[in-house]
Amino acid sequence: MIRFLIGILALAGTLFAQGDAAKIAALEAAVAAAQSAGDNAWMLTSSALVLLMTGPALALFYSGLVRRKNVLGTMMQSFILMAIVTVLWAVVGYSLAFGEANAFIGDLRYAFLAGVDGAPNATYAATIPHQTFMVFQLMFAIITPGLICGAYAERMKFSGMVLFSALWLLFVYCPMAHMVWGNGGLLNAYLGGKIPSFDFAGGTVVHITSGVSALVTALYLKPRKGYGVEPMMPHSLVLSFIGACLLWVGWFGFNAGSALGSGSLATSAFVATHFGAAAATVGWLIAEKLRSGKASVLGGISGAVAGLVAITPASGFVKPMPALLIGFVAGIFCYYMVAVVKHKLGYDDSLDAFGVHGAGGTLGAIMTGVFATNAVNSALKDASGNPAALGLVDGNGGQIVNQAIGVAIAWLLAAVGTLVILKVCDLTVGLRASDEEERQGLDLSMHGEEGYSHEL
């Protein structure tokens, strides 16, 4: 940094003698380089933080909630996605999401990452290398199918899980990411979408798609053997606690990183994210205390995650007080979904991927339409070049309808796409572990290992 400043000073010094125009041009270039360096530093940090959300955070969070015979199998479900999604993303996934063909899916212009290099792609992020943007988006693509693991935990074949996740990435995630964030995407408020919808960091793209797909998967697979009869308690809330705290930290990269730069918008998203998580923790614990008499550790960490989910679409659009409100409501709402609605309906969404991500994501997407304000995010301009009214608080109540359309499209694509993909996987490699494998546990039956040795 010091060397860089000395460089600028030296440059300014040598230019002093030259003409003003050349001097200004050189200074502008130096300023742009400085901004790019600052933005890129934050975006690479954010990319690493978002990867940390999958491994170890999600892997710990989920694997603590299963029985001990499935601890490694559950960790592996997160970890394998860090590998296969990365490969798919490099070959074709990034292009399908961020290529520019039509409103629904990208073309193949970036297949094999052709042309994705150190120069910025000004359409998406003008101050960071295109490659940084690509790898940041990759980390989102990794965690999204990972969230679905919560619904099929303890009973999915490894081969079926791998094929399902690969197809799901290409045919559900990539189209949804393109519609919301891709150039010309149907819902993209900034790049020519016909139905402008606000989703700052993935309420629809990440949480609704994964949450709704989780519900469909849980219904399709049927409950675990012995569900509702045998006790299926979390085998280590210690692991889950560590995982949830790491998720909270990683989420700063997820949401504040979605500013695609290191300016004040990133700060605002960072603050909203933190406030949302905190208020949701309080909300969930109050609801739980009132209903079952005790404020539990699992309740606290589940509430935090629910708040992080709900604030995700809103994080770059709302002020701190609405962020507190969104989080608080999400904590209570998701508790109700998980503790009451799930048992009434009887589906075995084992680790509550739908109750937290599907429900929290939907709530957050709608509330974004209420509280989004150009006082926080003035990037969108109206016809006369002034900051456009964003949500209801700016006087644009119609935005709630657009948000609802975005939610509906995400639900529909996730539900139909997931059902078709499940059927395809079921008819080819098979989805569900055999009764014997399930009884034995995925650690031994799928991977030939045990998480905890009896002898040692």
- Catalog residues that contact another protein under the rule CB under 8 A: 231, 233-234, 288, 291-292, 294, 296, 298-299, 302, 335, 338-340, 342-343, 352
To another protein, the closest distance from the beta carbon of 135 in angstroms equals: 35
- Between the CA atoms of 307, 308, 313 and 317, what dihedral angle is there, to the nearest 10 degrees? 80
Which C-beta is closer to another protein: that of 200 or that of 335?
A: 335
Distance (Å, whole) CA 375 – CA 313: 17
To another protein, the closest distance from the beta carbon of 442 in angstroms equals: 20
Which C-beta is closer to another protein: that of 318 or that of 338?
A: 338
Distance (Å, whole) CA 233 – CA 217: 21
113: alpha, beta or left? (left if phi > 0; alpha if psi -120 to 50): left
The residue type of 7 is: G
To another protein, the closest distance from the beta carbon of 186 in angstroms equals: 36
As given in the structure block, the two tokens for residue 82 are: 């860090």
To another protein, the closest distance from the beta carbon of 227 in angstroms equals: 10
- Nearest 5°: the CA angle 144, 259, 83 is 30
To another protein, the closest distance from the beta carbon of 273 in angstroms equals: 23
Which C-beta is closer to another protein: that of 192 or that of 228?
A: 228
To another protein, the closest distance from the beta carbon of 293 in angstroms equals: 8
To another protein, the closest distance from the beta carbon of 348 in angstroms equals: 11
To another protein, the closest distance from the beta carbon of 336 in angstroms equals: 9
- DSSP string spanning 15-60? HTTS-HHHHHHHHHHHHHHHHHHHHHHHHHHHHHHHHHIIIIIIHH
Tokens 């440059």 correspond to what residue? 11
Q: Which residues contact 351 (CB under 8 A, 6 or more apart)?
A: 62, 65, 66, 149, 150, 151, 153
Which C-beta is closer to another protein: that of 189 or that of 351?
A: 351
Which C-beta is closer to another protein: that of 231 or that of 385?
A: 231
Three-state SS for 347? coil
Which C-beta is closer to another protein: that of 286 or that of 298?
A: 298
Distance (Å, whole) CA 297 – CA 183: 43
Which C-beta is closer to another protein: that of 65 or that of 85?
A: 65
Tokens 């119609």 correspond to what residue? 398
Query: For residue 67, which phi and psi values (nearest 5 degrees)?
Result: -75, 160
As given in the structure block, the two tokens for residue 76 are: 């592996």
To another protein, the closest distance from the beta carbon of 149 in angstroms equals: 17
Distance (Å, whole) CA 145 – CA 353: 11
Query: Helix axis angle, 130-152 relative to 158-168, nearest 10°?
Result: 140
Which C-beta is closer to another protein: that of 154 or that of 352?
A: 352
Distance (Å, whole) CA 111 – CA 92: 5
Q: Which residues contact 349 (CB under 8 A, 6 or more apart)?
A: 150, 151, 214, 215, 218, 342, 355
Cα first-last separation, the chain: 50
Which C-beta is closer to another protein: that of 3 or that of 344?
A: 344
Distance (Å, whole) CA 402 – CA 374: 17
Which C-beta is closer to another protein: that of 109 or that of 222?
A: 222
To another protein, the closest distance from the beta carbon of 226 in angstroms equals: 13
To another protein, the closest distance from the beta carbon of 171 in angstroms equals: 31
Burial of 350 (0-12, 13-18, 19+ CB in 10 A): buried
Which C-beta is closer to another protein: that of 55 or that of 150?
A: 150
